[in-house]
Structure 1
Amino acid sequence: MPSDYLVRFAQVHDEFRIPELLSVSELFKFKIGLPPKIDTSRALMILSLDSEEHALILARRCILIKSVCELYASGTTYEEIHEQVRRNHDKWSRYIPDTSFKFSVTGYANAIPQDRQLDVINSFRWMDLRGKIDMKNPEVTFVCHEEYLYIEGDRVRSLHDGNFIAVHFGRLVLDGSARPLIRTFSVKTREYYGNTSMDAEISLLMANQALAAPGRLIYDPFVGTGSMAYTCAHFGSLFIGSDIDGRQMRGKDSSPGIIRSANQYGVTSRILDLLTMDVTQHPWRVGGLFDAIVTDPPYGIRAGAKRLGRKKTRETVTERVQTFIATRESDQPYVPPTKPYELSELVSDLVLFSRAMLKPQGRLIFFLPTVTEEYEEVDIDTMLCDGMEVIANSLQDFGNWGRRLITIKKCTDESYPPPMLRRTSEVEIHDGDGEDTGAHIPAHKDFRVKYFQGFKKSVP
């Protein structure tokens, strides 16, 4: 029979919580009962789980979970709490005779004074717990969570003490043991990083969305300095990365930078290969290779997306050869020309490419920047193709713009040949006469231009 568990989240990345929970439950093949009304602004959430083992899995794997408790009571007053705890006597009575214990009274959006914490603890004397009180290493910890409304800019939270909107009581199952990984993979202590290296917490969240686990093969087509490689490999996945600019992966030392950081994290054996290539002219000749494709495509703020090609009309072959021979030094390597890769075209190509390269039920996870005022739900539909469906869309809000972590699943068993993506802005918004055709313009189109213009609307 399912039981209720109280999950306390870190107060960050509100919209990422449910997708992470559902991803971890899918990976470990169990179901989660979500509350009928989900308020992601609240740090506490009551989940229904079939066993305590499932609660332990969530606490050990979910990056955003701070603790999980077996819930004994939930209400708006302590009178309600005591009444419910008495009714649930069978859940905690086994701890009465000789189990060492302690009580913890915590508050969200409020600093609870010590004297009132003691009053709350003493109010549970009627439980008649006879074991030893052990504040350092108890066998069981009973927890009271008081929940207050968060008031922006309120620095003296204790002024609202006692005016909570809800209070919960239960037994601590486990403190979240995945959050310390944020410190482990911090860019500040990493052997090799660059200006596009991803925040450790975000890369861990993406690895969970990718269902990273032993026996799974994950690919990043815009690997850069390898942030996704380390977290996916940490969870046991085998990893392949590629980038059009090999210098991003190599760095300046004799040993490739990504490999140096992989050594630091002890995951070198799980990095299968690093390839220098343009993903639109890739070497893959068969599809269905990867369990997940996870990436943060460059969108032009810290680095712009590139593809092989020339910005201007090509010279004749003879002119190009003569120019190259005349100007190059004897040891100068040939660097192929590149041209910009517009974001809306890039993500459409990425979805099409992923449909071919993913196994059935495989996932594509990537960040998509959008202009806040222009974004509409239909924007995501503009880049989808048959056989691919969106299962999560979580916003990281920066004000005028935000970036959305998009998770797309391959929902077909049909096989597709790897596409050669050689398009050059084939989809036009305007027709030949310069009149608007009425086609929807997604909020991520020409994002780089909008960003550096300060998101000012063009004046007709």
Structure 2
Amino acid sequence: MMEYLIRFSQSHETFRLAEIQSLAIVEGIDLEVISYSNESPFCIVRLPSEEAAKALIRRSILAQTIHEHWGTAETYDELHAIIKRDTPHLWPQYKEVSFKINIDAYQGSRPEKRKLELINSFSYLPLDGLILLKNPEQKWTIFEQWEFEAVPKNLPDPLKIHFGRLVGHSVRDLIKTYDLKKRGYISTTSMDSELALITANIALAAPGKIFYDPFVGTGSFPIACAHFGALGWGSDIDGRSVRGEGGKKSLKGNFKQYGLEQLLGDVFVCDLTNSPVRKARILDGIVCDPPYGVREGLKVLGCRDPEDKDAWLVEKGKRNYRNASFVPPKKPYSFTAMLDDILNFAADTLVDNGRLSFWMPTANDEEQEIPVPTHPCLNLVVVCTQVFYKWSRRLITYRRLPDSEVDLSALAQRKREEQIKGHTADDLNSFRRAYFKGFKSEKTEATSDIKAE
């Protein structure tokens, strides 16, 4: 086992480790995280080999590069001592190669003259090859980690210094390839390319796997999964998003734009509570961004009032559902019931150890925070958070437990407790209600009412 340093991008900090750990599972790599903090883009890990390091990062979105770790210290004197002590056995193989040494100062800055002095301080390394600024055979990097606002504070030294040899690059440029601005068909709720690709990685999308999005929209998640080799399927209650715009722009057209047609299973119209997908354990992954019900209340197929005979368009639909003008009736749907239905669906359709990764909104106020839902058949893997102003959305990932590991008594209890409450869109959706009240707590509202009186 050898130590490697991962240089992450400076975005989506709570997603970074989750993605790398998921990619280790996809590649079948034994990964040990030695040190990591969301406050730093540097992560030191232990891996079996250089080949494993390259495999780990080759489809990462949040990492930038991975380096053979030669040393970490708080000062340059300490760093040089560590390198001279621990790495001489590596030096001979690089004696004659062309090379380059860079400086990467995170949250800090160095004058060019000082950079050159620091690079020259490594002159004890027996590197006799040519120094090439472009396309050298080997690259080493000095990573400096500075305190926040180190430049305006005019701080003299970094907090920590790392040194390593470049081993491999990520595929972060895929964000540009799948940029929504360049995509032929999108909607207001299309997930941006970076987060869609990260979700696919955390959900373990890979060749030979079947992935499904029950709220497919314009196809961001199946496209991301297809890029990594999975067969993408999807459905949506809104037939307009599935069909597209008169054949000119469509979800299938998006797959064609990226040359991924062969990895699109199919898309169809349904809602999660009235799905034609059989309760068979065949899906390797479910990835989705369910509707939050903010723009309008959540809906599912069905009649609001079953006693109203005139409302039973479903009866008429049995004869006329093929008509282009047919519009199936819908009724209000509970946000919390939707979360439960997603988990139930995953429990019924995922293979052993298959993953469910879905996005869920919540208020940032602890009093109004929506708890992470649970299910006896699903083990919570990780929760990653994207923070906005007064609310956040979380990517919640579960693993489907093998039946032998499921608590049957807890499963039976869950089935007894399941029920839908409320009658209006606001009653059924606590997040929607909080959103339009500016995420004010009940205590704050009561205080405001007293002051107003």
Residue-by-residue CA offset, 1:180-216 (whole Å, 9 max, x unaligned):
0000111000011010100111000100011111100
Q: CA deviation at 1:300?
A: 1.9
Cα 1:264/1:348, change in 2 over 3 Å: same
Corresponding residue of 2:355: 363
Instruction: Report matched runs for 1:94-173 at 5 Å.
Output: 94-151=92-149, 157=151, 160=154, 162-173=156-167
Counterparts of 1:402 and 1:15 in 2: how far apart (Å)? 13
Shift of 1:94: 2.3
Change in Cα spacing, 1:26 to 1:309, as seen in structure 2 (3 Å) is same
What corresponds to 2:217 in structure 1? 224
Cα–Cα, structure 1 residues 304 and 364, in superposed 2: closer, same or farther, change >3 Å?
farther
Measure the CA separation in 1 of the matches of 2:296 and 2:109. 43
Aligned to 2:396: 406
Q: Which amino acid aligns with 1:389?
A: N
Is the Cα contact below 8 Å between 1:95 and 1:129 reproduced in 2?
no
What is residue 297 of structure 1 aligned with on the other side? 290
Q: Given that residues 288 and 415 in structure 1 are in contact (C-alpha distance below 8 angstroms), is that contact kept between their aligned partners in structure 2?
A: no
**Hey, what's the Cα distance between the residues in 2 that align with 1:116 and 1:270?**
52
**Identity of counterpart residues, as a percentage?**
36
Q: Which residue of 1 aligns with 2:226?
A: 233
Q: Give the counterpart of 2:379 among 355, 373, 389.
A: 389
Q: Which has the higher helix share?
A: 2
Structure 2 counterpart of 1:28, which letter? E
1:140 Cα offset (Å): 0.6
1:18, CA displacement in angstroms?
A: 1.4
Q: Does 1:195 align with 2:193?
A: no
Relative to structure 1, is the Cα distance of residues 210 and 395 closer, same or farther in structure 2, using a 3 angstrom cutoff?
same
Show the 5 A alignment for 1:10-409.
Answer: 10-35=9-34, 38-151=36-149, 157=151, 160=154, 162-176=156-170, 178-254=171-247, 257-302=250-295, 305-312=298-305, 314-317=307-310, 333-374=325-366, 379-380=371-372, 383-409=373-399
**CA distance 1:162–1:95, shift in 2 (3 Å):** farther
Q: Does 193-202 or 297-306 show the bigger shift?
A: 297-306
Residues 222-243 of structure 1 show CA distances to partners (whole Å, capped at 9, x for unaligned) of: 0011000111001100011000
User: Unpaired runs of 5+ in structure 1?
Assistant: 417-421, 430-443
Structure 1 residues 302 and 174, CA gap change in structure 2 (3 angstroms): farther
Displacement of 1:48: 1.0
Name 2:430's counterpart in structure 1: 446
- The 1:291–1:453 alpha-carbon spacing in structure 2 relative to 1, beyond 3 Å, is same
Q: CA RMSD in A?
A: 2.8
Q: Which range moved further: 228-237 or 391-400? A: 391-400
More displaced 10-residue stretch of structure 1: 189-198 or 142-151 = 142-151
TM-score (norm 2): 0.88
1:312 Cα deviation after fit: 4.5
What TM-score, normalized by structure 1, do the two folds share?
A: 0.86
- C-alpha contact (below 8 Å) 1:195/1:302 kept by paired residues: no
Which secondary structure does the structure 1 equivalent of 2:253 belong to?
helix
Q: 1:243, 1:415 → 2: CA distance?
A: 32
Query: How far is the alpha carbon of 1:135 from its aligned partner?
Result: 0.7
Aligned residues: 427
Higher mean C-alpha deviation, range 336-345 or range 133-142: 336-345
Larger CA deviation: 159-168 vs 77-86: 159-168
Tell me the amino acid that sits aligned with residue 33 of structure 1.
E
For 2:328 and 2:89, the matched residues in 1 are separated by 68
Structure 1 position 399, deviation (Å):
3.0
1:171 alignment partner AA: R
Point out where structure 2 has 5 or more consecutive residues left out of the alignment.
407-414, 423-427, 447-453
